[in-house]
């Protein structure tokens, strides 16, 4: 793993009136890393993701993508610079096929009102990604007919179609069965290291197994950061999850 920084978050803060959701957050994610972000509900994880992705403006602080300050960039500008994101709730078009959703993600799809049955070829790289993610058998299936696990695989393929350098995964295993989680974990483990991952996930077994480092967010601040082994053994982290920490 290179020591180049893929993501830098420097002193980010955000409040909604008197409610402080992020307070002086500092976070550094190395290029090629698999970095987990955990914390109990309300810790500020999704708010932090929204600010990194450009969907929410911080009150103060700066965000860097591979050394470039992107704090004032739009969502589209960040996407073009290599930032990709998945969501807790899937954002695909359910009334068309897997193939058409992938084409839309790559920018070759048509305006939805003009779509007709079609078999436009996707490039080899995207077809290879679809195959790696187990989508080859369902390429011409309507998205509305897919299982929840396959929807998650499609969502991941659509984000990878944009060729991100940094991928934000927002609870990718949410709603999946145990077997589907195992499939997803394998797919994430096999992603090339030229894609850096920052992952919010409530499944502790998954985040501990997949991450090189883990940051624990608590009351809108990074409470502690370390290796999976260090986080699993940390008394303060256990207290947070048992509801005994107040820091």
b/e per residue 63-79 (b: at least 16 CB within 10 A): bbbbeeebbebeeeebb
Choose among 94, 56, 68, 54: nearest CA to 6. 68
pLDDT level of residue 134 (50, 70, 90 thresholds): confident
What's the pTM? 0.85
- For the chain, the structural domain boundaries read 1-82+164-181+195-247, 92-163
Residue 165 burial by Cβ neighbours in a 10 Å radius (0-12, 13-18, 19+): middle
Worst-scoring range by mean pLDDT, 100-109, 160-169, 172-181?
100-109
CB within 8 Å of 246: residues ≥ 6 apart: none
C-alpha span between 193 and 189 (Å, rounded): 9
Burial class (CB in 10 A: 0-12, 13-18, 19+), 43: buried
State percent of the chain over pLDDT 90: 60
CATH match of 1-82+164-181+195-247 with 3.40.50.300:
yes
Q: Tell me the per-residue pLDDT of 222-238, one tens digit each, with 9 for 90 and over.
A: 999 999 999 999 999 98
């Amino acid at each position: 793993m290179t020591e180049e920084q893929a993501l830098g978050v420097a002193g980010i803060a955000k409040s909604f009136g008197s409610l402080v959701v992020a307070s002086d957050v500092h976070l550094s994610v190395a290029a090629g890393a698999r970095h987990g972000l955990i914390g109990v509900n309300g810790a500020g994880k999704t708010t932090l993701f929204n600010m990194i992705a450009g969907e929410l403006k911080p009150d103060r602080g700066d965000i860097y993508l591979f050394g470039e300050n992107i704090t004032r960039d739009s969502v589209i500008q960040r996407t073009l610079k290599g930032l990709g994101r998945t969501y807790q709730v899937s954002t695909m078009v359910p009334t068309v096929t897997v193939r058409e959703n992938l084409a839309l993600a790559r920018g070759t799809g048509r305006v939805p009102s003009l779509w007709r049955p079609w078999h436009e070829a996707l490039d080899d790289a995207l077809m290879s990604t679809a195959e790696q993610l187990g989508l080859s058998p369902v390429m011409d299936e309507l998205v509305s007919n897919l299982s929840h696990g396959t929807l998650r695989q499609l969502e991941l393929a659509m984000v990878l179609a944009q060729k991100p350098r940094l991928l934000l995964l927002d609870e990718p295993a949410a709603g999946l069965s145990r077997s589907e989680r195992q499939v997803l974990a394998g797919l994430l483990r096999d992603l090339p290291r030229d894609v850096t991952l920052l992952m919010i996930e409530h499944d502790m077994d998954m985040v501990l197994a997949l991450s090189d480092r883990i940051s624990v967010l608590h009351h809108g601040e990074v409470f502690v950061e370390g290796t999976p082994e260090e986080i699993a053994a940390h008394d303060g982290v256990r207290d947070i999850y048992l509801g005994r920490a107040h820091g």
